[in-house]
Amino acid sequence: MALSLFRSNEITPPADIEKASLRSDKFRLEREVDWQRLEQIVTALEKGRPGRISDDDLLELPVLYRKTASSLAVARETSLDAATLDYLEALVRRAWFQIYGPRTGLFGWLRSFFAGGWSQSVRDIWLDICIAFAVMVAGTVVGWLLVARDPDWYYSLMPAELAGGRVPGAPREVLLESLGHDGGGEGLTLFAASLFSHNTGVTIMYFALGFAFGVPTLLLLLYFMATIGAILWVFFDAGLGWEFVGWLSIHGTTELGAILLGSAAGLHIGRTMAFPGNRSILAAMQDSGVRAAQVMMGCTIMMIIAGLIEGYGRQLITDTTARFAIGGFMLAVWLAYFILVRRLRERDA
């Protein structure tokens, strides 16, 4: 009668509760020594005190981890008490991180990134960089020739909100004024932040569109550089070519470099998808994706620097020679990093 009452109300009988509790206690007692030993080793590793761990414990660490993971699997299957499950899940997670997790912290990763990781990834996609660079040159030439032949092409290539007063036939004084100081340093921080946000978004878009076999990336890059070629013609036609190139170079050597690398990274993924070689597409994508992501992280850093230079330096430095000097210096820095860091690492090896 009592048993039927328990079943009708879906309440576990006290005998079953006691039996489950005994089973959980027995399970824990049989394995608890290994769990505690694993926890002591993991705790010492987490505190950065490997010297306190004996050689026997270090050798047993993978075995203890597998035993504990097996205990967790059994505990889940047999529905042991929640406290045991929570304890085992936390312990297995901590042990996994110590055995299989990353071996370097944030500062170690940054040191590895700047000491050759980024430059190596850039060198690995040299073919894609050459293709993207050729497209950039071609786009600039196309934009120049189109506007030189028919100035109306300028209005088709250049968005109205970006053109401002810099249009074909504009007075030389207006064009020169557009390259000068904007009247003060107020609001430059916000301006630099907005430039960084916009330019980084553009670079990420070029990179992301590389998944479509790189075709949209190349087309957008061609169009973007056509606008550069168009505006170059406007200033050269007005006799202000030197001034405009200086105005552009102060930040352009960094910004255009980042756009070049971001586009090449996207193209690298698209090219790998189209021509995976002897590997499966998934394996090829995984390899190229890691490499391209590292290049893009570097591009983000370049865009931060370009945004600061464009937001502050270009607005506050009006001398053309000084602008060229800064732009040339930044170009030398990037080239030196991508070329010389490799030699230093090889020499250390």
Q: What is the mean pLDDT of each run of 10 residues along the chain (349 residues)?
A: 42 50 70 89 84 82 88 78 83 84 68 89 95 97 97 90 82 88 54 64 84 90 94 95 94 94 94 86 83 92 90 86 96 94 54
Residue 192, pLDDT score: 59
Residue matched to tokens 């509760």: 17
Residue 279, pLDDT score: 81
Find the angle CA(11)-CA(16)-CA(17) to the nearest 5 degrees: 80
In the chain the first and final C-alpha atoms are separated, in Å, by 82
E strand spans, 230-318: none
Residue 72: name the closest of 96, 91, 95, 58 by CA: 91
Residue 108 belongs to what H/E stretch? helix 106-112
Query: What is the C-alpha separation between 215 and 7, in angstroms, rounded?
Result: 67
Residue 287, pLDDT score: 84
Residue 6, pLDDT score: 38
Tokens of 327: 């732009």
